[in-house]
Amino acid sequence: MTDWFEEQLEIKNGRAVRILTKELLESYRSPFQKIDIYDTVPYGKMLAHDDVIMLTEFDEAHYHEMIAHVALNVHPNPQRVLVIGGGDGGTLREVLKHKEVQSAHLCEIDGDVVRLCKKHFPNLSSCFQDPRSEIFYEDGAKFIKARPNYYSVIIVDSSDPIGPAEVLFQENFYRDMFNALTDDGIVVTQSESFHFHRGIIKQIAQFCGKIFPHYHYYYSMVPTYPSGVIGFSFCSKKYDPISDFKPEKVEALHDLKYYNPGIHKACFILPRAFSQFLAEFQKK
Ligand code: SPD
């Protein structure tokens, strides 16, 4: 029997994404969160944590390609990559499309996310079989403290800044990531929507401006996330996301649905009012 799923992330602000579901395939309460997997009428299978949409089969590529390929096509030789969060495997799947990646670590606090996604989302989680990948079931904020000067690229594929992911939106965590990078490293983090979450973005951009020589916000279109848009912070010690972009690397990537060289450049071009908003506090 069909039933409406109503996402809870924006409900306090009087708005919600609603999706018609066919069946609740699995519901499990882990020590960290409620994990639900639905089959939906319009979007295939869907993963939700505490009633907030993490991904649907319909548009997960719009998110995972964009969180991974932008930095990996700017860094000239991303040998060691770390994904924090991302237990569904979608981000790691994209990272492993890059031949220069020699080791790809995934640090996910909630082992039940990995277990359930292996069962329900093989298209995302089959990448865990790649011998270059290794999973650590640890708190990402603690994990990076123990690995100074190690990673070429760190990608934070977190949920929203409520509950277990709150620490991943704080200044100290970004300072620890800076230290965990090699001298030319890049960090990319899930940084919410410029339509709805400007307070969070302002905070991140302000402290990243103090920590990293380069800070840029870019975005992807993901219809099943609130506002249909999600953004990312590109924080870099050395490379610029446009002048150091290597479009020739894109040809080697297989099975892309969203990302291309044009999108790489266009995603940093922001709507007028939002770019004025960023510029105003970045110059202070
Ligand atoms: N508002 C939801 C943002 C979720 C971002 N991460 C999702 C995990 C997909 N790998």
The residue assigned the tokens 């450049």 is 265
Residues 125-161: pLDDT tens digits? 999 999 999 999 999 999 999 999 999 999 999 999 9
**pLDDT above 70 for 283:** no
User: For residue range 155-188, what is the model confidence (pLDDT) as tens digits?
Assistant: 999 999 988 789 999 999 999 999 999 999 999 9
In this predicted structure, the answer to whether residue 284 has a pLDDT above a threshold of 70 is: no
pTM of the model: 0.97
Into which CATH architecture does domain 60-282 fall? 3-Layer(aba) Sandwich (3.40)
- Report the atom number in ligand 1 closest to the C-alpha of 60: 9
Place of tokens 């809870």: 8
- The Å distance, Cα 157 to ligand 1 centre, comes to 7
pLDDT reading at 249 higher than 70: yes
In the chain, which residues fall in CATH 2.30.140.10? 3-56
What is the arithmetic mean of pLDDT over 228-246?
98
Q: Tell me if 180 sits within 8 A of 82, measured CB to CB.
A: yes
How many helices (H) and strands (E) are present in the chain, helices listed first?
Answer: 9, 12
Whether pLDDT at 251 is above 70: yes
Q: Give the atom of ligand 1 at the shortest distance from the alpha carbon of 89.
A: 10
Q: Is the CB of 50 under 6 A from ligand 1?
A: no
**Ligand 1 and 159: CB distance under 6 A:** yes
Q: Angle formed by the axes of helices 198-211 and 272-282, to 10°?
A: 40
What's the topology of domain 3-56? Spermidine Synthase; Chain: A, domain 2 (2.30.140)
- Report the alpha-carbon distance of residue 262 to residue 166 in Å, rounded: 33
- Sign of the C-alpha dihedral, residues 147, 150, 151, 154? positive
Q: pLDDT, tens digit, for every residue of 54-112?
A: 999 999 999 999 999 999 999 999 999 999 999 999 999 999 999 999 999 999 999 99
Per-residue pLDDT, averaged over 2-14, amounts to 95
Catalytic residue among 50, 59, 157, 176: 157
Of ligand 1's listed atoms, the one at least distance from the Cα of 9 is 1
Please, what is the Cα angle at 50 between 47 and 53, to 5 degrees?
Answer: 40
For residue 156, give the nearest of 93, 83, 92 by alpha carbon. 83
- What's the confidence (pLDDT) of residue 220? 98
CB of 224 closer than 6 angstroms to any ligand 1 atom: no
The pLDDT of residue 162 is: 85
Task: Please tell me the residue having the least CA distance from ligand 1 atom 8.
Answer: 54
* 183 among known catalytic residues: no
Test site for ligand 1: of 64, 158, 191, most ligand atoms within 8 A of the Cβ: 158
Distance 283 CA to ligand 1 centre (A): 30
Residue limits of CATH 3.40.50.150 in the chain: 60-282
In whole angstroms, give the CA distance from residue 275 to residue 253: 31
